[in-house]
Amino acid sequence: GNSVTQMEGPVTLSEEAFLTINCTYTATGYPSLFWYVQYPGEGLQLLLKATKADDKGSNKGFEATYRKETTSFHLEKGSVQVSDSAVYFCALSLYNFNKFYFGSGTKLNVKP
Amino acid sequence: EAQVTQNPRYLITVTGKKLTVTCSQNMNHEYMSWYRQDPGLGLRQIYYSMNVEVTDKGDVPEGYKVSRKEKRNFPLILESPSPNQTSLYFCASSLRITNHEQFFGPGTRLTVL
């Protein structure tokens, strides 16, 4: 089947620390991969995406590389800020299934 | 402003009382979808629609109905709500299914007593 697995949270970091949130996937076909962010009390917003193997998505200092050989799409940021505190969701879409699949979400807390 | 709107934002109801949560987008998107968000489970897709009059089940469709009579609207109907449908619901839309960003509504928090 198709699924997304994320590391469990919460992840608590100090400001300016390095962030990695792990995401691996299982897909029957060639998915597009996404990271979404959800700030408290809001809906999800697209953070970055990658549509084929070895693509790197980046936005607002966040990066993730589509690794087909390890079926992974880990999210990284070199220096987190308090304003990055949110829940992060890894997701995939498959054209032939017409669906999106989301991970369970990872809550990030950044302390000053 | 491009957006997805949902109403109501908050709803408390009782078991068995039919309800509808509305969703509307102003971006002329073909693809629309409903999700529920539960702690530890992330977002699970309930129903989706590829275009007008084309709908299909997601991963957790039991107890829900949808319709897509117009491109901009995609209401979620709970004919006989039960307490296990207490959840946070999100509507989303995108231009098409693959490679395209989904735009999410602000969410509807539903409590079924």
- Provide the residue type at B107 as one letter: G
Closest CA to B14 of B88, B81, B63, B84: B81
| Interface residue of A37, A59, A93, A98 to substitute, partner B, most B CBs within 10 Å | A98
Contacts of B92 in chain A (CB under 8 A): 43-44
- Nearest CB to A43; choose among B50, B58, B90: B90
Contact criterion met (CB below 8 Å) for A25 and A71: yes
CA distances from A73 to A67, A92, B66, B109 (A): 6, 10, 33, 30
- Whether residues A98 and B45 touch (CB distance < 8 A) is answered with no
Hunting for tokens 């050989």 — which residue is that?
A: A69
* Averaged pLDDT, A95-99: 71
Measured CA to CA, the distance from residue A58 to residue A79 in angstroms comes to 14
A-to-B residue pairs, Cβ atoms closer than 8 angstroms: 58
Tens of pLDDT, residue by residue over B10-63, are 999 999 999 999 999 999 999 999 999 998 888 999 999 999 999 999 989 999
Structure tokens that stand for B86 in this block: 């207490």
Is A46 touching B (CB cutoff 8 A)? yes
Measured CA to CA, the distance from residue A30 to residue A32 in angstroms comes to 7
Is B53 touching A (CB cutoff 8 A)? no
Measured CA to CA, the distance from residue A101 to residue A27 in angstroms comes to 10
Is A95 touching B (CB cutoff 8 A)? yes
In degrees, rounded to 5, the angle at the alpha carbon of residue A18 between the alpha carbons of residues A12 and A19 is 60
- Nearest CB to A89; choose among B43, B59, B101: B43
Ranked by mean pLDDT, which of A33-47, A97-111, B65-79 comes out on top? B65-79
- Res A96: pLDDT: 66
Measured CA to CA, the distance from residue A100 to residue A27 in angstroms comes to 11
Tens of pLDDT, residue by residue over A24-36, are 999 988 899 999 9
Measured CA to CA, the distance from residue A88 to residue B50 in angstroms comes to 26
Residues 17-36 of A with CB under 8 A from B: 32, 34, 36
Is B108 touching A (CB cutoff 8 A)? no
Strand bridging mode A106-111 / A11-14: parallel
Question: What's the pLDDT band for A41 if we cut at 50, 70, 90?
Answer: confident
Percentage of chain A modeled with pLDDT above 90: 77
Is B79 touching A (CB cutoff 8 A)? no
Contact criterion met (CB below 8 Å) for B26 and B48: no
Contacts of A4 in chain B (CB under 8 A): 42
Phi-psi region of A48 (alpha: psi -120 to 50; beta: other; left: phi over 0): beta
Beta-strand runs (E) in B1-113: 4-7, 10-13, 19-25, 31-38, 42-51, 54-57, 65-66, 76-78, 87-94, 103-104, 108-112
